[in-house]
Structure 1
């Protein structure tokens, strides 16, 4: 499903060039759920952004579904993000002008995979049936996170990338959200790469990889 080969990424800073990723090699199988852990500043979010096609590496390959997405032009990378990958970040990024029902359907419609039956099932599983006519500003943090997960999974992406998806939640709500993500990603057959600082949450996934100073251990 995913093969990262000798992936490198650096940025210019006031103190000079900072190498964030220094030769990343990683394979993820189809349907595998992998936790990406490591200290703050180790490059976890940078790696996720590269796999998501939100940024380009300095060198190396990001082979997903048999093609290197780092070599795609801007239009094709946008199509990849729209149809093949789902993103769940701490910021939620819900569309403020759309109600919950429209937010959930948004990505699936862009991907051409709008399925009302599947969306209704997600709404029920996520426990947000009474929130469909509300707008994001009317929701609690936990409710917004559930809506964001529903929006991502409604499109049935082959790959789900989650960056600290429970970071804004208390332990009980965080556990509930993670359980839903794991259950729903398994049902859809999605590969899941999840960034977390919590060893307790990481232990729930199939496998863990640790990023230290830009290298995987």
Structure 2
């Protein structure tokens, strides 16, 4: 479902370009989960941004659900982001002026894929049914992250990306949120790629790889 080949990315500095990814290769099947580990600054977020069509690679290929993202215009990539990719960040990035229910349905409505029955099921499974009329500032960190996960999955994406999704949560809350995320990923059949510092959380996914010196090493 996802194929990445020879992916390279560098960034300009006054001292010259600094390579971050030096030729990354991996595949991920529909319904499969993969944990991406590595030290801070190793390029985990860069890789997720490229796979999520949020940034341009220097070279290499990313094929998502049969579509070569690296060959698309920005307009076409934006359409793929809306319709096929869900992203969960460490910072919850909820819209403060929208209620929980409105935040949950936001991306799905943008993509023209809003499904009231699926939103109701997500709301219930995430334990948010009694909170739907509240605003983000009225929620705990764990509740906000559950909303962020629900928002990403409301569009029924083909690929769910998560960048340190429990980094702002305590261990018990993070474990509970991760269990919910994995349950919903299984229910939707989407592929799941998560960047994390936590070897404990990485161990809950089906596979794990480590990013070192711009390359992936299987663990």
Quote the residue 2:43 is aligned against.
Answer: 43
What's the counterpart of residue 163 of structure 2?
163
- Judge which range, 187-196 or 133-142, deviates more: 133-142
Aligned to 2:34: 34
Q: What displacement does 1:112 show? A: 1.8
The secondary structure found in structure 2 opposite 1:156 is: coil
Q: Partners of 1:33 and 1:18 in 2: how far apart?
A: 30
What's 1:66 paired with? 66
Give the unaligned 5+ runs of structure 1.
none
Aligned residues: 217
Kept in 1, the 8 Å contact 2:97–2:135? The answer is: yes
- TM-score normalised according to structure 2 size: 0.97
- The superposition leaves residues 30-57 of structure 1 with CA deviations (integer Å, 9 ceiling, x where unpaired) of 1110000111111100000000000010
Aligned twin of 2:200: 200
CA deviation digits over 1:58-98, x for unaligned, max 9? 00000111221011111101101000000000111111111
Unaligned runs of 5+ in 2: none
- Local SS of the residue matching 1:5: strand
Distance 1:96 1:186 in 2: 29
**Map 1:116-127 → 2, pairs under 5 A:** 116-127=116-127
TM-score by length of 1: 0.98
In the alignment, the residues of structure 2 paired with residue 28 and residue 106 of structure 1 have an alpha-carbon distance, to the nearest angstrom, of: 27
**Residue in structure 2 matched with residue 24 of structure 1 by the alignment:** 24
SS in 2 for 1:34: strand
Q: Which stretch shifts more, 120-129 or 38-47?
A: 120-129
Task: Provide the C-alpha distance between the structure 1 equivalents of 2:136 and 2:62, rounded to a whole number of angstroms.
Answer: 34
- Cα distance, 1:129 vs. partner? 1.5
Q: Distance in 1 between matches of 2:94 and 2:72?
A: 27
Task: Measure how far apart 1:133 and its partner are.
Answer: 1.1
Please report how far the alpha carbon of residue 28 of structure 1 lies from its aligned counterpart in structure 2 after TM superposition: 0.7
After TM superposition, the runs of 4+ consecutive aligned structure 1 residues lying more than 6 A away are: none
